[in-house]
Structure 1
Amino acid sequence: MKREALILSLIGGFAVAGIAHAETSVTLYGVVDTGYGFSQRKLNKAGIDYSSTASGLHDSYLAGSRFGFQGVEDLGDGLRAFFVLESGINPSDGTTVTDRVFHRESNVGLSSDYWGTFAMGRQYNLADPFFGINSTTSMGDIDKTFGAASVRVDNMFRYLTPNFSGFQAGVGYAANGTIVRNNQDPDTYNRDRDSYLSLGMQYTDQAIHAVATYDRAGTGKSEHAATSWALVGSYDFGPAKLALGYGQDRYAKLNGVGAFGDSALFAQVFAKAGSTITDYDEFLMSHDFKASNYYVGLSVPFGGGTAGFAWARTASNLDDGDKLGDYAGDQSIYSARYVYPLSKRTSVYVYGSYGTNIAYIDGLKATEAGLGLNHSF
């Protein structure tokens, strides 16, 4: 009830602000995406017989369902103040995705035609707005392969330059936690300070889009910082659009590995491999994890809509004897979708994906398919 009361009070406050200040605009926007879906995960290897199947109403396959508020105030001379508050929702039951009211984005900043855009708060790294090459959806999404394709970061300062003849660059930095120093008592010295650095550069022309990004997540609790870099791009041939991507991850997958699986299954595999660490992300951090990621996507106009196809592969060193050994494999995902617009704001879609060695576990297969309705406002 408290969350609903807060949202209603915010809506009321925004309405008053819009009336009181003519130079300020506040927009309510969102996406509602749901439909029928089927998904299955299966593994039968070395005494592990695992199967997980789900079907029924599934949310947010084409795009994450959400609602948000965006406000802009014109300060004159090309300078604007803005804010973004955005929350994820589950249309199938009306709940929010997390306990945070605005977990997707929550930031405020200034934007200028001359010097760029500066924002503070919870926001995306540079890879998320720069990539823009997805040809399919859900399991075939590029963020299931590239470790930093879409990462939200708390307490981030982010700056984007203006567009200079197609070129744009950006930097984001977040520091969380504290550093305590006590010269009289070295035992109280605490390096528990998380940090996140995001760098990106993109070039956009009529047919060409090229991107380079680098992300680094460090923490005082770990000996190593997790890093991820990527080079992606696309070329629009007119009748078809081709997208390519390559990148590497080190010591972790910044957006997590376990999105496809079950923690109980991971625990079984890790136990079989002789590991005392059962948490996947902690396991990668504790080992010299490396992965090379590849993406090929194709979008083709067809029958009034758009057909998309993609192949994504991520190859790791988890098959080394000191890691998962024979229980590890290189993940490959093949996917397709078709989106047909009923109007500028409403589309119907159908999709399907098949993956092998999901989450780098040898023999773990995944299948999904479905159809849905997407409406934006």
Structure 2
Amino acid sequence: MNYKTLALSTLALAAGSAAFAQSSPGPQVTLYGTLDANVQVLDGAARQTRVQSGGLSGSRFGLRGSEDLGGGLSAFFTLESGINVDDGSYGQNSFWGRQAFVGLGTPYGKVSLGRQYGSIYTLTNEFSQFSNVGTGASTAVIGGFGGYEPVRGSDNSATGNGGPARVNNSVKLESINYGGFSAGALWGLGEVTGNTRGNRVADLYGRYTGHDFDAMVSLVDDKADALGRNVRTVSAAAAYDWGNARFNAGAMQVNDRSMADRDGKGYWLGASYRMGQHLFKGQYVESKNAGALADGKTQAFGVGYQYDLSKRTALYSSVTRFKNDGVGYVSRAAGTIPVGLIDANDRNLTEVVAGIRHSF
């Protein structure tokens, strides 16, 4: 009988301890993701039909978490992996290629370390009617000046840091919101022995949000000493919400201070209107080369439609027309244009897309 009493007491204590552990505040971890796939038809000098991953949003899954440390302090982290839904491979050439960072929040702002979004990614994504994904339904593919791709990053940027869209080896400082104003700074360490400024990315931004108005300015200095590249990008964008309508505009100027002299500039204008579950949108983008490739220009105009089946699932479609001019033009389209799709006699391209996005 005593043994039974002891056993029951032990079980009661264990149950009480488990209940206390579950009800006590602790780390909060969330698994999340987005799966986005579409059928894309590209029509130029030749035609191609393909299934692509990412039209409204880049496909991904990730983990994010935070812990309240008391005294206004908190710890947080994000691990996010890009997915190519069309073939099951991972994106960004790395498993946690979208984001991987850990940080500390304070009453004045936060600091984080790892692979993180730069301000160019935020500006071209949040102030555009179309996502700045690498493939899919997008006229937000802004940039592409002479092979330097400020929107998504490329081998022509500081490759040791992953490009200005996502920056490796970075330290990021972000302020809290003061009456609608916020600011941030990011420094991507090049990790070059004997040269603390070699292959580095410096990124500064400021933003105001309030009264249905949102605006952001960005300065990114991207330097790759080993490759002789030195590119500075200045960007600005704004958006205004008027009832069910949203208007957006932005501009970007790239100053290539290397021997290649692949300067460029561009702007975009867009608008959308929501009617319940229906969203209609359109956007015009122009990218123009300067410097060594001064005659190259691409114009793109796209219209899109989105139908929200629920808060997490949407059907979408879009039609985009790309017009490429000049000897030094950069053929702007969603992702890399397959060989043979355009030629010297027919440089223009029409893109038609229909897809589905689901988030969890």
- For normalisation by structure 1, the TM-score amounts to 0.74
CA distance in 2, matches of 1:111, 1:192: 27
**Mapped partners of 1:192, 1:55: distance in 2:** 45
Cα separation, partners in 2 of 1:179 and 1:247, compared to 1, 3 Å: same
Distance 1:21 1:155 in 2: 35
Q: Is the 8 A contact 2:198 2:224 kept in 1?
A: yes
SS at the partner of 1:221? helix
Task: Check whether the contact 1:148–1:215 (CA below 8 A) recurs between aligned residues.
Answer: no
Contact 2:262/2:293 (<8 A) preserved? no
- Aligned pair in 2 of structure 1 residues 23, 162: CA closer, same or farther (>3 Å)? same
Alignment counterpart, residue 67 of structure 1, candidates 41, 61, 68: 61
User: 1:191, 1:71 → 2: CA distance?
Assistant: 32
Work out the CA distance in 1 between the residues paired with 2:141 and 2:275. Answer: 26
After superposition, the Cα gap between the structure-2 partners of 1:58 and 1:140, relative to the gap in structure 1 and judged at 3 Å, is: closer
Taking the TM superposition and a 5 Å limit, the aligned residue runs for 1:243-258 are 243-251=248-256
For residue 360 of structure 1, the aligned residue among 330, 352, 356 is 330
Quote how far apart the aligned CAs of 1:331 are: 1.0
Instruction: Tell me the CA shift for residue 336 of structure 1.
Output: 1.3
What do the CA deviations read for 1:28-50 (whole angstroms, capped 9, x no partner)? 000001122212454xxxxxxxx
Q: Does 1:92 align with 2:59?
A: no
> Whole-Å Cα distance in 2 between the matches of residues 130 and 295 of structure 1?
12
- Residue 116 of structure 1 deviates from its aligned partner by 0.5
Partner residue in 1 for 2:288 = 315
Residue segments in structure 1 that go unaligned for 5+ positions in a row = 1-17, 43-50, 181-189, 253-284
1:214 equivalent in alignment to 2:219: yes
Counterpart contact for 1:291–1:315, Cα < 8 Å: yes
Give the whole-Å Cα distance in 2 for the aligned partners of 1:129 and 1:372.
24
Letter of the 1:360 counterpart: V
Which entry has the higher C-alpha Rg, 1 or 2? 2
Which amino acid letter does the alignment assign opposite residue 307 of structure 1?
F
Aligned equivalents of 1:124, 1:317: Cα separation in 2: 27
Which of the numbers 273, 289, 293 marks the counterpart of 1:300?
273
> Per-residue deviation at 1:315?
1.6
Give the residue type in structure 1 aligned to 2:128. N
Aligned to 2:307: 340
- 1:71: how far off? 1.2
Q: Structure 1 residue 120: deviation in Å?
A: 0.3
Count of residues in Structure 1 that have an aligned counterpart in Structure 2: 303
Measured in 2, the distance between the counterparts of 1:192 and 1:231 equals 26
Is contact 1:191–1:221 with CA below 8 Å preserved after alignment?
no
Give unmatched runs, 5+ long, in structure 2.
1-20, 153-164, 332-343
For residues 298-352 of structure 1, give each alpha carbon's deviation from its aligned partner in whole angstroms, at most 9, with x where no partner exists.
011146311110001112225xxxx457xx4211111111111111111111111
Distance 2:231 2:23 in 1: 47
Instruction: Please name the residue that 2:181 is paired with.
Output: 167
Per-residue deviation, 1:130: 4.5
Q: Using the alignment, how far apart are the partners of 2:180 and 2:150 within structure 1?
A: 23
Structure 2 letter corresponding to 1:25: Q
Partner of 1:133 in structure 2?
Answer: 127
Structure 2 letter corresponding to 1:115: Y
Quote the Cα distance in structure 2 between the aligned partners of 1:289 and 1:177. 26
Partners of 1:86 and 1:105 within 8 A in 2:
yes
Instruction: Give the equivalent residue in structure 2 for 1:197.
Output: 202
Q: Which whole-Å deviations, capped at 9, do the CAs of 1:248-306 have from their partners, x for residues lacking one?
A: 01118xxxxxxxxxxxxxxxxxxxxxxxxxxxxxxxx5322221211101011146311
Deviates more, 1:100-109 or 1:301-310: 301-310
RMSD: 2.6
1:226 aligns with 2:240: no
Matches within 5 A, 1:233-248: 233-248=238-253
Q: Hey, what's the Cα distance between the residues in 2 that align with 1:72 and 1:349?
A: 34
Are the counterparts in 1 of residues 223 and 230 from structure 2 also a CA contact under 8 Å?
yes
Instruction: Select between 357-366 and 25-34 the one with higher mean Cα deviation.
Output: 357-366
Letter in 2 for 1:216: D
Indicate whether 1:23 and 2:26 are aligned: yes
Q: Please name the residue that 1:123 is paired with.
A: 116
Is the partner of 2:97 in helix, strand or coil? coil
- Once residues 69 and 354 of structure 1 are traced to their aligned partners in structure 2, the CA distance between those partners, rounded to angstroms, is 37
Identity of aligned residues (%): 26
Query: Residue 153 of structure 1 aligns with which residue?
Result: 167
SS state at 1:70 partner:
strand
Determine the C-alpha separation between the residues in 2 that align with 1:224 and 1:59: 31
Distance (whole Å) between structure 2 residues aligned to residue 235 and residue 211 of structure 1: 12
| Distance change (3 Å), C-alpha of 1:99 and 1:237 | closer
